[in-house]
Structure 1
Amino acid sequence: MTAGVLDRELLDDVRARITRGGVDSAEAVRQAARDSGRVLGSTVLNELERSARAELHGAGPLQDLLEGPDVTDVLVNGPDDVWVDRGRGLERVPLSLGTAADVRALAVRLAAIGGQRLDDARPSVDARLPDGTRLHAVLAPIAPTGAAISLRVLRSRAFSLEELVASGALPGAWAGLLRALVLRRANVVISGGTGTGKTTLLAALLSLVGTGERIVTVEEARELTPDHPHVMPLATRRANVEGAGGIGLADLVRDALRMRPDRIVLGECRGAEVREVLMAMNTGHDGGFATLHANAVAVVPARLEALAALAGMPRDAVAAQAAGALDVVLHLRRERGVRFLAEIGVVRRDVGGELLVRPAARWSGQGAFETDTAAWPELVRRFGPW
């Protein structure tokens, strides 16, 4: 018999033994197999134990995909509609999760592992699994197929700039500039679409921060793992079912200011917390970083204005605060399955007081990069030589 067949027959028994306590998954599997009267080889026992751990404590049939090399995302649209992203774009995988009820049960169990509730009364959830994997799941009627699951893998280490250059994520000539931005404490926004590598680039830059500096990161769910000895991560907390106890990004940015930070990092600007970040960067907390969803450096001002409006900031106040707080925008794109740094922009105000981000350099992901005759010399003057 195969491990797959056996785990279906023995899983309930294994689960019951673990729930009663006193045994780990390996011992529970051995006891269940012995009491069932089956004689199993060591290979099948090991596979069964691993399957039991994945079913009880991990992502079940999705665990193998999450542990695959280079996998960043695992997406489930239905029982027979599973996709992965290995850095080359989404690829469908031949995996069946059973029935719509099985997918729903998996989503509910994953939410519970992450300490969250997922049911008809609360059919949408964001959670963090024990291994750091980020979970988003929705149930019917939000998901017509019964349930949809999105899993984002947390990278266990930060890539260096040299590794990013070698992978084609940025031209080698820009590595010195990025180091200079960190060394000279520029306030930097990293923009781009979903899955373009914003967190990867941010972690690489934070790894360049001096070891004597304290970095405080603020995120909805922890993703940043820079190679740095002194990182204090802060993460938001959702309100409970009574609507109490929630802690948002804006609250955490204010908390970060009181924690003696040398660098304040906002994992993603997505709402009113942008006001707190701009104020922090305007009051001596330089060398900060934030990420932002945007289509190009030129549209970053509009995105900042839209987000700041949620905090009640008028447009002219946003322009004044952002121009005084921000120095550079690094914009990432994803094309042909490759993530790369496509634009570097300089933040300024025009003669009419409007906030602008002028592209100083562009790169297509291959070949030489192009520079702007006005903005590039300004970048060199402010942060060069490198």
Structure 2
Amino acid sequence: MGRGWAPAPPPAPRDGHDRARRWLAGRLAAADAAGRGSRPGGEGSAVPPAELLAEAVRRHLPVHTPEDAARQMTALADGLAGLGPLAEPARHAGVTDVLVDGTGTVWTDGDGGLRRTGRRLSADEARHLAVRLLAQGGRRLDEGQPFGDAQVTGARVHAVLPPIAAGGTQISVRLPAAEPPTLAELAERWPHGERWLAVLRHVLAVRANLLISGATGSGKTTLLTALLSEVPAGERIITVEDTRELCPRHGHVVSLQARGGNAEGAGAVTLADLVRQALRMRPDRLVVGECRGAEVADFLAAMNTGHRGAAGTLHANAARDVPARLQAMGALAGLGPGATALQAASAVDAVLHVERTTAGRAPVELAVLDRSEGPGPTGLRVVPAVTTGRDGLRVGPGLDVLESLAPAAGGGRHALGT
């Protein structure tokens, strides 16, 4: 058990919670039928009013003190519309992920690294929880669709059922920050943070089209959220995501989320569909939360038709691997290597690569894409602009390209902090 964990309070009898949930479901269904409060997102997707929770606890659960009553109300709300047995570990400071493995063991990840919580779910509990959570986010999870993800109470939940998941149901919950950090707050934790802050603010100011690359958990979405929060208030941001995670602190954000098909495969709305729709919605900044497939063709086309200041993320091991990733995604859209290279070289101004190390998450390289005249599988080359190395922050020839995008009011190496 990790340091700082307090023993969980003794649970109420399961039949008591079952009775309380059935009683609440009946009261909420009656309210819905009378038109006094439809609940968005389907049955059980909204937390019942506090007075109903209190009455359900009073009727069906043993309580001895006001603290008992409050704890049972919280547990009942978690079981109806929250993360259920994962809610309590998710509330601990510094926890970024809550995980359930095939044995039902509950883990956390965060400031202290990967840790067991001392909790274990039965096979039935894990499966029921996974199905309920995805249903709350409007997603299927069954034998016909044994994996998926959804947003639940602000968290991104991913689940996989057996036999796809060997051993048992797997649940992964990525938790949002209670207060998303600002760009300046992130920079305080980075090596050479002040200089990186100046560079990234320059990229924003000149409305450069930016791709943020990195591995899973490297901080791509956190950094993109912080960058978007610094977009001028008069600009309209439209985000396109498979599962919504981007929540910038900005006054004008339109969020679009993809949708899977039904049991017959009908009704699916893909990222490519949403990118095309977003272009008709007068975006000042078009943002694709994660480029992973054919939508990259529409995204690159948008950046080539005057939509400056676009941004997106993609998975890559290093900035130099981004051209190959773009080629692979372009092939899914029917683009050949040459066409992808032409589109990307004129559309993408900069690639920012971030890494997660034992010291934390931080940007390690900013580069520009250029057409390669020599042999190569993609026709693209990566030209370093700013790189964090063992000997400090290094400046590369790509910085001259970024400087050429400087606003008329200023620019140059001094403005970039290099």
* TM-score normalised by structure 2 residue count: 0.85
The alignment-based identity, stated in percent, is 46
Residues 5 and 175 of structure 1, relative CA distance in 2, 3 Å threshold:
closer
Aligned with 1:199: secondary structure?
A: helix
Residues 371 and 39 of structure 1, relative CA distance in 2, 3 Å threshold:
closer
Which AA in structure 1 matches 2:55?
E
The list of structure 1 runs, each at least 4 consecutive aligned residues, that deviate by more than 6 angstroms after superposition, is: none
Which AA in structure 1 matches 2:138?
G
Tell me the CA shift for residue 355 of structure 1.
Answer: 0.9
Distance 2:111 2:245 in 1: 17
Distance 2:141 2:388 in 1: 44
Q: Which residue of 2 aligns with 1:100?
A: 123
Tell me the CA shift for residue 7 of structure 1.
Answer: 4.3
Which AA in structure 2 matches 1:147?
T
Distance 1:115 1:319 in 2: 37
Give the counterpart of 1:307 among 318, 329, 332: 329
Which AA in structure 2 matches 1:339?
R
Q: Which residue of 1 aligns with 2:355?
A: 333
Distance 1:116 1:19 in 2: 21
Q: Which moved more, 1:40-49 or 1:270-279?
A: 40-49
Residues 140 and 169 of structure 1, relative CA distance in 2, 3 Å threshold:
farther
Residues 378 and 3 of structure 1, relative CA distance in 2, 3 Å threshold:
closer
Residues 3 and 197 of structure 1, relative CA distance in 2, 3 Å threshold:
closer
Q: Which moved more, 1:104-113 or 1:144-153?
A: 104-113
Superposed CA RMSD in Å reads: 2.0
Distance 1:156 1:255 in 2: 31
Task: Work out whether 1:10 is the aligned partner of 2:16.
Answer: yes
Tell me the CA shift for residue 160 of structure 1.
Answer: 1.6
1:76 and 1:83 in contact (8 A); partners too = yes
Q: Which residue of 2 aligns with 1:178?
A: 200
Q: Which residue of 2 aligns with 1:75?
A: 99
Aligned with 2:190: secondary structure?
A: coil
Distance 2:112 2:243 in 1: 24
Tell me the CA shift for residue 3 of structure 1.
Answer: 5.5
Distance 1:377 1:235 in 2: 37
Gaps of at least 5 residues in structure 2 are 1-7, 29-50
Alignment of 1:101-180 (within 5 A): 101-129=124-152, 131-155=153-177, 157-168=179-190, 171-180=193-202
Distance 1:340 1:107 in 2: 32
Q: Could you report, residue by residue, the CA deviation over 1:204-240 in whole angstroms, capped at 9, with x for unpaired residues?
A: 1111111111111111111111111011111111111
Aligned with 2:381: secondary structure?
A: strand
Distance 1:81 1:184 in 2: 48
Task: Work out whether 1:27 is the aligned partner of 2:52.
Answer: no
Distance 2:22 2:105 in 1: 31
Gaps of at least 5 residues in structure 1 are none
Residues 262 and 180 of structure 1, relative CA distance in 2, 3 Å threshold:
same
Alignment of 1:1-386 (within 5 A): 4-21=10-27, 24-33=52-61, 40-97=64-121, 99-129=122-152, 131-155=153-177, 157-168=179-190, 171-336=193-358, 338-352=360-374, 354-364=379-389, 368-372=392-396, 374-383=397-406, 384-385=411-412, 386=415
Tell me the CA shift for residue 254 of structure 1.
Answer: 0.7
Distance 1:52 1:310 in 2: 45
Count of aligned positions:
377
1:323 and 1:347 in contact (8 A); partners too = yes
2:104 and 2:123 in contact (8 A); partners too = no
Distance 1:293 1:247 in 2: 22
Distance 2:151 2:11 in 1: 30
1:156 and 1:225 in contact (8 A); partners too = no
2:356 and 2:362 in contact (8 A); partners too = yes
Aligned with 1:204: secondary structure?
A: helix
Residues 116 and 80 of structure 1, relative CA distance in 2, 3 Å threshold:
closer
Residues 123 and 378 of structure 1, relative CA distance in 2, 3 Å threshold:
closer
Distance 1:30 1:17 in 2: 12
Which AA in structure 1 matches 2:17?
L
Residues 10 and 178 of structure 1, relative CA distance in 2, 3 Å threshold:
same
Residues 145 and 272 of structure 1, relative CA distance in 2, 3 Å threshold:
same
Q: Could you report, residue by residue, the CA deviation over 1:176-219 in whole angstroms, capped at 9, with x for unpaired residues?
A: 11111111110111000001111111111111111111111111
Distance 2:359 2:101 in 1: 21
2:89 and 2:117 in contact (8 A); partners too = no
Aligned with 1:269: secondary structure?
A: coil
Residues 349 and 164 of structure 1, relative CA distance in 2, 3 Å threshold:
same
Distance 1:6 1:64 in 2: 15
* TM-score normalised by structure 1 residue count: 0.92
